[in-house]
Amino acid sequence: MNKDIFLSNSLGNKKEKFVPINQNKIGMYVCGPTAYDDPHIGNARPLVVFDILFKVLKCKFGDKSVTYVRNITDIDDKIIQSSNEKNISTEELTKKIINNFHDDCAYLYCENPTFEPKATENISLMIKMINQLLQNGYAYSNNLHVYFEVKKYKDYGKLSNKNLEELIAGSRVEVSENKKNPEDFVLWKPSKDKEPYWESPWGKGRPGWHLECSVMSKKYLGDKFDIHGGGRDLIFPHHENEIAQSRCANENEVFVNYWVHNGFITMSNEKMAKSQGNILKINNFKKQINGQVLRLALMSTHYKQPLDWSENLTNQCQNTLNKWYESYIELKKQVLIPNEYLNPLYDDLNTPGYIANLHKLFEKSQKGDLKDKEIFISACNFVGLLKDTKNKWVEFKKSKSTISEHEILEKIDERNKARDKKNYKLADKIRNELLDKGVLIEDKDGKTFWKLK
């Protein structure tokens, strides 16, 4: 594969050719979930985006040349608050949420990352990095807290392309009498009574959230690596703080070469957020929709752009997959996908362009030979689509249908009788009732055929 990969780099805000530090040892770190609540559809977008990037990198450089690390935050203020509200331990809460998260990943047909470290498994390394920052003069301790002193790091704000004053004015700065400056952020904080804690040189406490990713990325990918990903909401302060900590602790000029951020999911063009009351949890979709439908919907807009979520979008994707499954065959092995079809993915993960190519391949598979079908199925499989057999796809639709086959046949018989009596108004009403329940009917050669949409 000679095609170059291009990625939009948030550091500098431009599309750049991807040149790995070592093409035999490519590192990608993506911020994973904070295990305080079940993932929502907004959380699903980076799961699918970076799953596809993982596949593209492996296609270009080889399966064994790419290391994908996605962390899990299992200690955090939100986790403690949620566990208190539910009156369960943080361990019980995080175990449940992590299990649900893994179920959601499987539902969305995402591959497992190479490593999935948890914050609580790496506390000793976090204490070690804090000590290094204190030793290097970039941090200070006060009243059982340790803070990073932002003014000591001259490049702060380069990722978000703002100066320090702008960043402070536009963000929620935690006010504390323990800080030297309002913009300083916490590296270690004391735990209150009955809260989880770890022993440290500064007393019983826990690490700051930003520190966790700096430590876990270093553990698996080293002081400097290729790609760091996440939602664009993480650019500031999370990723800005990661850069500051990591560069100052490791004393290097570069932490990450390419920062890749996906856009928000909106509903009626409003950002999906708890404060808006428009959160859709992934788990809610499982009752009615195959995960491949959500996956295709999440691919339908370029990852950098906002994606406006709607029932119309999922219906369109459902119909597309219904159509594509008409060409389904079981492959004995994946076949080579011609470069001309893969090219959009190499150009900054242009998934809408790739989907357009899948439509072309589908049309070709309908008219062509077995080889054309094999290429089409392989091209779909490459991005996590058509992963179920056709029978499994159909059975899933049947299992989620709100109407039985017996009821469908009764309705069709009722409609046929109405048509015989030229009562077309009633016949159309019955057709629409079936359509509302996900049943498509077609009249052909004097007979009526039906299928689930």
Question: What are 298-326's pLDDT values in tens digits?
Answer: 999 999 999 999 989 999 999 999 999 99
Task: Tell me which of 42-56, 248-262, 277-291 is least confident.
Answer: 277-291
pLDDT of residue 287: 80
Per-residue pLDDT at 274 exceeds 80: no
Q: Could you give the dihedral angle defined by the CA atoms of residues 39, 40, 46 and 49, in that order, rounded to the nearest 10 degrees? A: 120
Q: How confident is the model at residue 87 (pLDDT cuts 50, 70, 90)?
A: very high
Take residue 294 and report the two structure tokens written for it: 């959500």
Q: Enumerate the H helices of 67-135 as residue ranges.
A: 77-86, 90-107, 123-135
pLDDT of residue 273: 66
Cite the residue boundaries of each domain of the chain with CATH code 3.40.50.620.
6-266
d(Cα 70, Cα 388) in Å, to the nearest integer?
26
pLDDT of residue 241: 97
Mean pLDDT of the region 331-351: 95
Q: Which residue has the tokens 């809408």?
A: 352
Q: Closest Cα to residue 217, out of 205, 206, 229?
A: 229
Mean pLDDT of the region 127-138: 98
d(Cα 54, Cα 114) in Å, to the nearest integer?
10
3-state SS of 331-393 is: CCCCCCCCHHHHHHHHECCCHHHHHHHHHHHHHHHHHCCHHHHHHHHHHHHHCCCCCCCHHHH
Q: When comparing pLDDT for 398 and 277, which is higher? A: 398
pLDDT of residue 419: 86
Task: Tell me which of 1-5, 19-23, 303-307, 370-374 is least confident.
Answer: 1-5
pTM: 0.88
Letter for the amino acid at 133? L
pLDDT of residue 171: 64
Per-residue pLDDT at 1 exceeds 70: no
3-class state of residue 428 by DSSP: helix
| Contacts by 321-325, CB closer than 8 A, 24 or more apart | 321/290, 321/292, 321/293, 321/296, 321/385, 321/386, 321/393, 322/451, 322/453, 323/362, 324/358, 324/362, 324/376, 324/380, 324/385, 324/386, 325/386, 325/390, 325/393, 325/394
pLDDT of residue 435: 74
pLDDT of residue 276: 60
CB 285: neighbour CB atoms within 10 A? 20
d(Cα 35, Cα 27) in Å, to the nearest integer?
24
pLDDT of residue 402: 63
Please give the CATH topology (third level) of the domain spanning 6-266: Rossmann fold (3.40.50)
Q: How confident is the model at residue 246 (pLDDT cuts 50, 70, 90)?
A: very high
**Is residue 213 within 8 Å of residue 31, measured between CB atoms?**
yes
